[in-house]
């Protein structure tokens, strides 16, 4: 959500809440003014009923000033409330305290009022708001006045009208103060909400900027790492090509000499086996070099359907003499049948040999190394496990990096796993090295697709 939309929503909510509070306050004010008017109407009614009784007692004659004043004095409060009488046929309104006043709006309301004592008490139309000037003309504070109206019919059939007018100054002041309180609390709370909202937004923006900078830094670091890796791989490719070129000449000489020797040692079975082994291994070296060169030139390995257990056994046989030399036990774990994989078996054997040799290097005499073929989630996994020195998580993360080695100079080149990884990647597989879980040692695994789900590299 964009920050400006959040701010707009907050402001809209605050305005809506403020408007609702202000409207409610106004409604309360009108209701209390209406109540105030009803109170005046009740007083006017009481006054009218007292006057009717007095009129009846005086035989229906018009009321004199003193009795009127006496009756009115029970209601009147100087400066706050006045009582007024409109006698039949009289002009203006007689004040209880003496004198008459002309208040046209009040006279008109009294003339038209249906607020008779005979009728059931009803507030509707029995109160009237007076203007500031009208209130002042009646000796009340020059603020809004509220008039309550009542009428009654005397025994002679004449209609008498009574009004009680009270200044609504106190009510109005109270309402104004309440409205001011609503506005003030609205302003304070909206100010607080906006201030905290802006603070939160600023903090969020800062965090977003920071997260963005971190993401950029991560991307740059990852790109740099990729470039360094690509650079090292290019060096590796060039190195492999150069070595292949240099090795081919002496290799040719070895093969030539061995072939010359072969017919001469036919009689000596031991020498014949040795010469055959030399020829077999040189052929193997030539095949591996050819396969490596294909990879280095960006070609695809020649794939054959191979039984994973045959691969595992062949790899173990290739390194057995090294294990025997240092007194480390090596074995394949007899597992259930695994589906065939599509691979260049020379290259994959070489990758497994590298894992086995690393395991051998990590073990002391008497150590154990196993190579197991497992079927995991429809994939074929070659798992080499050793009980050697183990590997730290940091070294495991860098183990397949070209030239990364923890071995002393002259002992390791740091190329074994890098080459194995390239081989495995060319077979659309994965290679991982990790500390063994719950036991001493290391676990290295190559995972390949079986032939049924193998998709060759595009």
Ligand X SMILES: Nc1ncnc2c1ncn2[C@@H]1O[C@H](COP(=O)(O)OP(=O)(O)OP(=O)(O)O)[C@@H](O)[C@H]1O
Query: What H or E segment, with its residue span, contains residue 316?
Result: helix 308-326
Cβ nearer to Mg ion, comparing 129 with 406: 406
**Residue 404 Cβ vs Mg ion, minimum distance, rounded to whole Å:** 10
Detail the DSSP E strand segments found in 105-254: 127-130, 145-153, 159-167
Q: Check residue 404 for interaction with ligand X (CB under 6 A).
A: yes
Q: If you ran DSSP here, which 8-state letter would residue 450 be given?
A: B
Residue in the shown chain whose Cβ atom is closest to Mg ion:
416
Q: Check residue 386 for interaction with ligand X (CB under 6 A).
A: yes
Q: At 417, list the tokens.
A: 């796993």
Q: How far apart are CA 316 and CA 308, in angstroms?
A: 12
Q: Check residue 370 for interaction with ligand X (CB under 6 A).
A: no
Q: Check residue 399 for interaction with ligand X (CB under 6 A).
A: yes
**Residue 445 Cβ vs ligand X, minimum distance, rounded to whole Å:** 11
Strand partners, 85: 94, 162
Q: Which window, 239-247, 279-287, 294-302, 386-394, contacts ligand X (CB under 6 A)?
A: 386-394
> Nearest Cα to 122, choosing from 51, 47, 42?
42
- Are 338 and 383 contacting, i.e. CB atoms less than 8 angstroms apart? no
Q: Check residue 417 for interaction with ligand X (CB under 6 A).
A: yes
Q: Which window, 64-72, 247-255, 317-325, 401-409, contacts ligand X (CB under 6 A)?
A: 401-409
Q: Check residue 391 for interaction with ligand X (CB under 6 A).
A: yes
The residue within the footprint of ligand X, chosen from 412, 425, 449, 454 (CB under 6 A), is 412
Of residues 345-374, those binding Mg ion (CB under 5 A):
358
Query: 406 is in the binding site of which of ligand X, Mg ion, none (Cβ under 5 to 8 A by kind)?
Result: ligand X
Cβ nearer to ligand X, comparing 107 with 443: 443
Q: Check residue 385 for interaction with ligand X (CB under 6 A).
A: no
Cβ nearer to ligand X, comparing 102 with 407: 407
Q: Which window, 148-156, 174-182, 225-233, 405-413, contacts ligand X (CB under 6 A)?
A: 405-413
* CA dist list (Å): 366 to 137, 325, 358, 388, 412: 121, 11, 16, 10, 22
Q: Check residue 151 for interaction with Mg ion (CB under 5 A).
A: no
Q: Check residue 362 for interaction with ligand X (CB under 6 A).
A: yes
Q: Check residue 339 for interaction with ligand X (CB under 6 A).
A: no
Query: 407 is in the binding site of which of Mg ion, ligand X, none (Cβ under 5 to 8 A by kind)?
Result: ligand X
Q: How far apart are CA 323 and CA 334, in angstroms?
A: 19
- Are 130 and 146 contacting, i.e. CB atoms less than 8 angstroms apart? yes
Count the site residues for ligand X by CB under 6 A: 24
**Residue 279 Cβ vs ligand X, minimum distance, rounded to whole Å:** 26
The residue within the footprint of Mg ion, chosen from 416, 422, 431, 441 (CB under 5 A), is 416
At which residue do the structure tokens 């290259």 appear? 347
User: What is the DSSP pairing of strand 81-86 with strand 442-448?
Assistant: unpaired
**Residue 457 Cβ vs ligand X, minimum distance, rounded to whole Å:** 23
Query: 442 is in the binding site of which of Mg ion, ligand X, none (Cβ under 5 to 8 A by kind)?
Result: ligand X
Q: CB burial class (10 A; 0-12, 13-18, 19+) of residue 292?
A: buried
Q: Check residue 367 for interaction with ligand X (CB under 6 A).
A: no
Q: How far apart are CA 147 and CA 108, in angstroms?
A: 13
Cβ nearer to ligand X, comparing 370 with 405: 405
Q: Check residue 359 for interaction with ligand X (CB under 6 A).
A: yes
- Are 142 and 133 contacting, i.e. CB atoms less than 8 angstroms apart? yes
Round the CA-based radius of gyration of the chain to a whole number and report it.
Answer: 55
Query: 306 is in the binding site of which of Mg ion, ligand X, none (Cβ under 5 to 8 A by kind)?
Result: none
Query: 363 is in the binding site of which of Mg ion, ligand X, none (Cβ under 5 to 8 A by kind)?
Result: none
Q: Which window, 29-37, 62-70, 173-181, 384-392, contacts ligand X (CB under 6 A)?
A: 384-392
Query: 360 is in the binding site of which of Mg ion, ligand X, none (Cβ under 5 to 8 A by kind)?
Result: none
* CA dist list (Å): 237 to 223, 233, 246, 335, 368: 21, 6, 14, 36, 34
Q: How far apart are CA 166 and CA 150, in angstroms?
A: 15
> Nearest Cα to 362, choosing from 401, 409, 411, 317?
411
Q: How far apart are CA 358 and CA 350, in angstroms?
A: 12
Q: Check residue 413 for interaction with ligand X (CB under 6 A).
A: yes
Q: Is 215 helix (H, G, I), strand (E, B) or coil?
A: helix
Q: How far apart are CA 354 and CA 433, in angstroms?
A: 12
Q: Check residue 435 for interaction with ligand X (CB under 6 A).
A: no
| Residue ranges binding ligand X (CB under 6 A) | 354, 358-359, 362, 386, 388-389, 391, 395, 399, 404-407, 412-418, 433, 442, 444
| Residue ranges binding Mg ion (CB under 5 A) | 358, 416
């Amino acid at each position: 959500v964009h920050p400006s939309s959040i701010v707009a929503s907050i402001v809209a909510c605050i305005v809506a809440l403020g408007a609702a509070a202000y409207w409610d306050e106004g409604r309360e004010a009108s209701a209390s003014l209406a109540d105030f008017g009803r109170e005046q109407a009740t007083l006017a009614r009481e006054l009218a009923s007292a006057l009717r009784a007095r009129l009846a007692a005086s035989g229906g004659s018009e009321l004199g000033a003193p009795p009127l004043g006496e009756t009115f004095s029970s209601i009147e409060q100087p400066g706050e409330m006045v009582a007024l009488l409109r006698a039949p046929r009289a002009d203006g309104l007689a004040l209880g305290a003496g004198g008459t006043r002309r208040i046209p709006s009040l006279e008109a309301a009294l003339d038209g009022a249906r607020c008779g004592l005979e009728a059931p008490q009803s507030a509707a139309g029995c109160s009237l708001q007076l203007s500031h000037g009208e209130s002042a003309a009646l000796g009340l504070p020059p603020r809004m006045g509220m008039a309550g109206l009542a009428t009654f019919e005397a025994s002679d059939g004449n209609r008498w009208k009574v009004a009680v007018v009270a200044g609504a100054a106190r009510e109005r002041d109270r309402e104004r103060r309440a409205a001011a309180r609503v506005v003030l609390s609205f302003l304070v709370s909206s100010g607080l909400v906006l201030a905290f909202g802006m603070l939160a937004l600023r903090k969020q923006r800062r965090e977003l900027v920071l997260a963005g900078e971190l993401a950029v830094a991560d991307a740059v670091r990852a790109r740099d790492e990729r470039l360094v890796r690509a650079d090292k791989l290019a060096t590796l490719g060039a190195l492999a090509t150069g070595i292949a070129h240099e090795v081919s000449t002496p290799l040719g000489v070895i093969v030539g000499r061995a072939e010359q020797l072969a017919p001469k040692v036919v009689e000596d079975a031991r020498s014949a086996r040795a010469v055959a082994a030399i020829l077999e291994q040189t052929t193997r070296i030539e095949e591996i070099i050819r396969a490596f060169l294909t990879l280095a030139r960006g070609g695809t390995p020649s794939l054959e359907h191979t039984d994973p257990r045959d691969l595992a056994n062949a790899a173990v046989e290739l390194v057995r003499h090294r294990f025997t030399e240092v007194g480390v036990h090596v074995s394949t774990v007899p597992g259930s049948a695994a589906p065939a994989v599509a691979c260049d078996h020379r290259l994959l054997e070489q990758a497994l040999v590298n894992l086995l040799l690393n395991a051998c290097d990590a073990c002391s005499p008497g150590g154990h190394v196993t190579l197991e073929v497992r079927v995991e989630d429809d994939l074929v996994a070659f798992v080499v496990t050793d009980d050697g020195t183990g590997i730290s998580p940091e070294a495991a993360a860098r183990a397949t990096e070209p030239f990364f080695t923890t071995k002393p100079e002259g002992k390791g080149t740091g190329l074994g796993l890098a080459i194995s990884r390239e081989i495995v990647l060319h077979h659309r597989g994965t290679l991982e090295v990790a500390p063994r879980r719950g036991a001493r040692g290391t676990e290295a695994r190559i995972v390949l697709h079986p032939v049924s789900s193998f998709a060759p590299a595009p």
